[in-house]
């Protein structure tokens, strides 16, 4: 009887044969086990490979199904604005040809205000340089203590003189009464003398009394006249002192602006000594020098744009008032007087620049901010086209129109633009030809 042993460690076991006999059926089954197991492993691997292949095929088919079936060309990319800019139209405007001149501000009428009372100390100066004053306004006062004392003395003397006049008039009245009485006595004695009632000596004595009374009247009248003259003299002294007292108050003769204060408190006034100088009605002019060769371009009444390099606030409009008839022999220049408008910024002596309009015409202008100078000396601008695409364009510039108030500086364009086109006025230094922009306010 044969024993059949189970395989160990997963390996098939071989059963030994005895007596040279052939293996039994059990032995044959044990030997065929490894071969069958190897076949099964190959089947598993083959199945896995087929699954992977099917998965790849399915993914490709699914991708092809999800892809668009439209074979049309791809859509172009949408242009994106590079930056936000502002634009301004090319406008038609009056362009002026100008002549630039320089000059100094002077007063048209500069008045010197001096005290009329002399020998008095200046007690107060009530204005400063640049103050606006009206006609009759008090500018300064002088010490009037001496004049006040003289006035009181003169008034007292006037009272004495008036009393003397009263006395002399009373004496004159008395003399006139005595004369009248003497004349009446003379007439009575004449009648008596004719009747022989009195002597001729008596009549002569009465006639002498009448003559004496007449002389007394003449003397009294002279004394009255003298006393009245004394009154008039004292009254004249009082009037003079009162006038001098009024003159201790120095007033502005006209309206204007205080140009200079030339005296100080404590100075003694003197005839012809100025306390202040006034610019009458604040009227100033710019006295500019124009070369003889360019003088024919200037005409009276031409407008003048006034500017200052030292003060940007000074932007005024003046007018050519007159042209001096003489040309300086050494410099060959003439003086042109330009009337200036009233302004608190102007002072006599300051230096200003003027642009005298010599002619004018119609032209195209754009804001000066739109210009972009180029390294080769040309100037270009960016013109806004369709689709907000900018075009770099070279232009020829002309005259510059200075800023005036809220109006920015503009430049004449002689070639390169047409009226109505839009030019970029901000950010021009960051643009290139063909850029797409966004137009802002």
pLDDT in tens, 262-320: 888 888 877 778 888 888 877 889 999 999 989 899 999 999 999 999 998 898 999 99
Residue 411's pLDDT is what?
93
pLDDT in tens, 201-248: 877 887 888 888 888 887 888 888 888 888 888 899 999 889 888 888
Q: What are phi and psi of 324, to 5 degrees?
A: -60, 140
Distance CA 133, CA 276 (A): 12
Distance CA 436, CA 433 (A): 9
pLDDT in tens, 400-418: 887 766 678 899 999 999 9
pLDDT in tens, 74-119: 555 556 677 899 999 999 988 888 899 999 998 888 888 888 888 8
Residue 266's pLDDT is what?
82
Q: Are 175 and 220 in contact (CB under 8 A)?
A: yes
CA angle 243, 246, 249 (to 5 degrees): 150
Strands 333-340 and 87-89: unpaired
| pTM of this prediction exceeds 0.85 | no
Residues 6+ apart with CB under 8 A from 424: 85, 86, 87, 370, 381, 382, 383, 384, 390, 431, 437
Residue 73's pLDDT is what?
53
Q: What are phi and psi of 402, to 5 degrees?
A: -65, 155
Residue 30's pLDDT is what?
34
Distance CA 392, CA 371 (A): 11
Q: Residue 439 pLDDT > 70, yes or no?
A: yes
Question: Average pLDDT, whole number, for the chain?
Answer: 79
Half-sphere exposure of 248 (CA within 13 A, CB side): 19
Instruction: Give the chain's end-to-end CA distance (angstroms, integer).
Output: 115
pLDDT in tens, 329-357: 888 999 999 999 988 888 888 999 999 99
Distance CA 57, CA 45 (A): 19
Strands 372-373 and 379-384: antiparallel
Q: What number of other Cβ atoms are within 10 A of residue 216's Cβ?
A: 18
CA angle 397, 401, 407 (to 5 degrees): 125
* Nearest alpha-carbon partner for 431 in 397, 367, 377, 383: 383
Residue 339's pLDDT is what?
93
Distance CA 7, CA 18 (A): 20
pLDDT in tens, 361-399: 899 999 999 999 999 999 999 999 999 999 999 999 998
Residue 263's pLDDT is what?
84
Q: What's the pLDDT band for 138 if we cut at 50, 70, 90? A: very high
HEC-encoded secondary structure of 232-292:
HHHHHHHHHHHHHHHHCEEECCCCEEEEEECCCCCCECCCCCCCEEEEECCCEEEEEEEEH
Residue 18's pLDDT is what?
37
β partners of residue 141: 124, 249
Q: What are the strands of the beta sheet with 138-142, ordered from one edge?
A: 122-125, 138-142, 249-251
Residue 396's pLDDT is what?
94
Half-sphere exposure of 174 (CA within 13 A, CB side): 9
pLDDT in tens, 49-74: 455 444 444 444 444 444 444 544 55
Stated length of the chain: 441
Strands 83-85 and 437-439: parallel
Distance CA 383, CA 433 (A): 9
Residue 47's pLDDT is what?
52
Share of the chain above pLDDT 90, in %: 29
Q: Residue 45 pLDDT > 50, yes or no?
A: no
What domains appear along the chain, each with residue ranges and CATH number? 87-106+283-439 (2.40.30.170), 144-247 (1.10.287)
């Amino acid at each position: 009887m044969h024993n059949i042993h189970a395989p160990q460690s997963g390996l098939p076991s071989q059963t030994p044969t005895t007596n040279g006999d052939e293996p039994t059926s059990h032995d044959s089954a044990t030997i065929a086990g490894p071969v069958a197991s190897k076949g099964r492993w190959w089947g598993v691997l083959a199945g896995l490979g087929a699954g992977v292949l099917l998965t790849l095929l399915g993914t490709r088919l699914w991708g092809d199904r999800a892809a668009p079936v439209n074979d049309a060309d791809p859509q172009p990319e949408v242009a994106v604005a590079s930056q936000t800019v502002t634009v301004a139209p090319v406008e038609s405007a009056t362009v002026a040809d100008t002549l630039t001149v320089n000059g100094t501000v002077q007063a048209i009428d500069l008045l010197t205000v001096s005290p009329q009372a002399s020998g008095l100390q200046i007690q107060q100066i009530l204005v400063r340089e640049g103050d606006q004053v009206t006609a009759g306004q008090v500018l300064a006062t002088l010490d009037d203590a001496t004049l006040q004392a003289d006035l009181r003395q003169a008034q007292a003397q006037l009272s004495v003189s008036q009393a003397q006049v009263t006395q002399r008039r009373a004496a004159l009245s008395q003399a006139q009464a005595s004369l009248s009485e003497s004349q009446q006595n003379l007439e009575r004695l004449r009648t008596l003398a004719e009747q022989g009632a009195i002597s001729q000596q008596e009549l002569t004595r009465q006639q002498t009394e009448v003559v004496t009374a007449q002389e007394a009247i003449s003397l009294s009248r002279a004394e009255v006249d003298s006393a009245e003259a004394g009154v008039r003299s004292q009254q004249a002294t009082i009037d003079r002192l009162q006038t001098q007292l009024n003159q201790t108050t120095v007033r502005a003769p006209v309206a204007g602006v205080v140009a200079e204060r030339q005296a100080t408190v404590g100075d003694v006034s003197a005839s012809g000594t100025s306390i202040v100088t006034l610019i009458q009605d604040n009227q100033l002019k710019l006295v500019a020098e124009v070369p003889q060769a360019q003088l024919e371009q200037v005409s009276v009444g031409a407008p003048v744009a006034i500017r200052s390099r030292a003060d940007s606030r000074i932007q005024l409009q003046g007018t050519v008032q007159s042209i001096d008839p003489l040309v300086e022999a050494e410099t060959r220049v003439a003086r042109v007087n330009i009337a200036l408008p009233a302004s608190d910024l102007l002072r006599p002596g300051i230096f200003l620049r003027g642009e005298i309009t010599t002619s004018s015409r119609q032209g195209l202008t754009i804001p000066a901010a739109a210009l972009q100078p180029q390294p080769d000396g040309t100037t270009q601008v960016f013109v806004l086209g369709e689709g907000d695409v900018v075009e770099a364009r070279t232009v020829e510039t002309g005259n510059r129109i200075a800023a005036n108030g809220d109006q920015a500086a503009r430049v004449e364009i002689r070639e390169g633009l047409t009226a109505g086109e839009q030019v970029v006025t901000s950010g021009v230094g960051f643009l290139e030809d063909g850029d797409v922009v966004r137009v802002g306010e």
